[in-house]
Structure 1
Amino acid sequence: MSPDDELPEHRPNVGVVLFHPDGRVWLGRRAGTPEPWNWQFPQGGVDRGEDFHEAALRELHEETGARTVTYLARTEGWIRYDFPEGWGGSKAWRGWKGQKQVWFAFRFNGEEAEFDLAHHAEPEFDAWRWGYLEEAPELIVPFKRAAYEQVAQAFASLAARRP
């Protein structure tokens, strides 16, 4: 799959679901985003010619500081979402209609001290916590919800259930 093959109006992107060994998932609170829909997984753009797996590891490290991970799974095909009409985000300003994503599941094998939200120039997140995969669609901005539901379904067999 090449980033330019399908959905040319959507920015190529990778997303990462980082699993704790007990099956919970890493959730980051987006810096500068008001409640209630301000928690999400690490995600980011794929550079031209960049391998998706390498892009996922890069984005995970840039946004969380985490490096000590083991590959578990990935989604096949694109999972996409469109930006809402009138949405003024930087990607929409650059002419993108939305984002198309390949999602990766990794298991975190390190110490929590490895997480450093200020690791990269402009932090994406200002807080993080371990949560449950099935709650993630409830926590994300509504225009990304259907994509998160697909991700939750794709990785459900890896996840702990909410008590």
Structure 2
Amino acid sequence: MKSSCTQENLQHDTPTKKYRPNVAAVILSSAYPKECRFFIAQRSDIKDAWQFPQGGIDEGESPRDALFRELREEIGTDEIEIISECPEWIQYDFPKNMSKKKYKGFAGQIQKYFLVRLKNDTTINLQTQEPEFNKYKFVSKKKLLEYVTPFKKEAYKQVLKYFKKEGYL
């Protein structure tokens, strides 16, 4: 489901559901555009859950600032070049079995996606202050959706479709 929102009304997207404002980084290897390989990482707290780096937008923080902060916190670097930003906010619901306590009553997340390229010679370090991931890899677009956790697949398809339509993928 697509939503076009401002940061002020993100948490009130529907009358019955609250969505957590979030950013997500679709990271391409430094070989882009010669080679189009996507960074995905396996969560350390959920078995076999692979995803793009992502995280909440703090009060008063812009989506771009949140992007750089989340990358430093999750993969140990913000050495990226922003290629594009999806203009739409894309939302998804958490599965029913996910802890509502952990997500403070949010039904899901509404995300601003950025397509980024790692700068040459960038080092990924998953051993950050609070590690969220325990493995990472670069995969083809075809393989990407085979790894991604099921409840995020539709959102990922939407954002990849947008970046492809715009000529980036």
State the TM-score, normalized to the length of structure 2. Answer: 0.82
1:23-45: per-residue Cα shift (whole Å, max 9, x none)? 2111111113223xx21110000
Q: Which amino acid aligns with 2:6?
A: S
RMSD over aligned CA atoms reads 1.8
Q: 2:15 aligns to what? A: none
1 CA distance for matches of 2:111 and 2:46? 21
Q: 2:143 aligns to what? A: 135
Secondary structure of the corresponding residue to residue 87 of structure 2: coil
What is the correspondence of 1:48-59 to structure 2 with a 5 Å cutoff?
Answer: 48-59=59-70
Could you tell me the percent identity over the aligned residues? 33
Distance change >3 Å, CA 90–CA 17, structure 1 → 2: farther
Distance change >3 Å, CA 24–CA 11, structure 1 → 2: same
2 CA distance for matches of 1:40 and 1:116? 16
Aligned length: 154
Q: Which runs of 4+ in 1 moved over 6 A?
A: none
**Aligned mate of 2:9, from 5, 13, 21:** 5
1:56-86: per-residue Cα shift (whole Å, max 9, x none)? 1111121111222111001112100011223
Q: 1:31 aligns to what? A: 44
Q: Any stretches of 5+ residues in structure 1 without a counterpart?
A: none
Residue 122 in structure 1 maps to residue 135 in structure 2: no
Q: 2:82 aligns to what? A: 71
1:71-117: per-residue Cα shift (whole Å, max 9, x none)? 1001112100011223215543x1111100000011111325x2110
Q: 1:149 aligns to what? A: 157
Secondary structure of the corresponding residue to residue 95 of structure 1: coil
